[in-house]
Amino acid sequence: MEITDPYPIIFKRRSIRNYDLTPLDEHTLTEISKYLSGLKPLYENIQTEIKIISSDDVKRRMMKKAPHYLAVFSKVKDGYRTNVGFMLQQMDLIFSANGVGSCWQGIPKPKKEVLNSTDLKFVILMAFGKPNEPLHRSSVSEFKRKSLQEITNITGADELFEAVRIAPSATNSQSWFFTGDKNLIHAYFVKPGFLGSVTKKYIPINMGIAIYHLMVSVEHFGKNPTIIFDEMAKKNPPQGCEYVASLKVE
């Protein structure tokens, strides 16, 4: 398994829900484990653990089976869900680039034996395996997403934000908004209304996914992104939004 530039994969990835239930071969699973150990965190100081588990280890609650799942656990610290979203989206693109289907799983949970195998908090699952449906989209038009104007007020940066616009999110809510300019980008999440309270815990994960897509895009266009914290951006959020982090682009 390999991936040289994840940017092109962003524009054709799909969430796969139908799988061939035949387990992947041991060589492929070993390669996946190597990638897991090398995932880049958004926040270096947050301990995480990602386990490869089988469908027998998961309480699916009527969800369709997959042969394998990534179960993600984390130390509970500020930003831990965003950190998980950032890290696991790397695997989503790695899977897609190497013929493996995957899908974020917000409802299913690992069984008690898996939960008790670590002292860290369970965060989310990702299903993966050989797809029983087309792995990739044939056109960007297949994405049902918000317009660029709905996710950012930064002008002259459409080439950067198109990769963010089509990022996956829980219930396809795209609960993010970006301000600033092409050299300093501020990331915010849109606070959910009453009807969005059920998916509130997934919003930080959504943000991690979006920030990773933004970093991939910035790097693809030959720039160097660095995550920073901007006190002024935190104090002056757009209406209905809350600050997450900023991206310095050099």
CATH for 7-129, among 3.40.109.10, 3.40.50.300, 3.40.190.150, 3.40.50.2300?
Answer: 3.40.109.10
What's the pLDDT tens digit per position in 23-46? 999 999 999 999 999 999 999 999
Tens digit of pLDDT for each residue in 237-246? Answer: 999 999 999 9
Q: How far is CA 245 from CA 46, 139, 171, 225, in A?
A: 16, 31, 23, 12
Cβ-based neighbours of 176, under 8 Å, separated by 6 or more: 151, 164, 169, 187, 188, 189, 190, 206, 207, 210
Tokens of 21: 């239930």
Q: What percent of the chain has pLDDT over 70?
A: 98
The reply to whether 7-129 and 143-249 are identical in fold is: yes
**Can you tell me the distance from the alpha carbon of 67 to that of 221, in angstroms, rounded to the nearest whole number?**
36
Q: Write the class of the CATH domain 143-249.
A: alpha beta
- What is the number of helices (H) and of strands (E) in the chain? 8, 10
Answer yes or no: are the C-beta atoms of 82 and 208 closer than 8 Å.
yes
Write the CA distances from 241 to 98, 178, 197, integer angstroms. Answer: 36, 10, 15
Element (H, E) at 231: helix 231-235
Q: pLDDT tens string for the chain (250 positions)?
A: 777 789 999 999 999 999 999 999 999 999 999 999 999 999 999 999 999 999 999 997 767 899 999 999 999 999 999 999 999 999 999 999 999 999 999 889 999 999 999 999 999 999 999 999 999 999 988 898 999 999 999 999 999 999 999 999 988 889 999 999 999 999 999 988 755 556 788 999 999 999 999 999 999 999 999 999 999 999 999 999 999 999 999 9
The domains of the chain are located at 7-129, 143-249
Give 154's DSSP letter.
-
In 3D, which of 153, 156, 166, 147 has the Cα closest to residue 212?
A: 166
pLDDT attached to residue 194: 57
110-to-47, 51, 55, 119 alpha-carbon distances in Å: 19, 10, 9, 14
155, with CB counted inside 10 A (0-12, 13-18, 19+), is: exposed
The total of other beta-carbon atoms located within 10 Å of residue 191's CB is 14
What's the confidence (pLDDT) of residue 63?
Answer: 74
pLDDT of 78 reads: 95
Residue 74 dihedral angles phi and psi, to the nearest 5°: -150, 150
Q: What is the rounded average pLDDT for all residues in the chain? A: 94
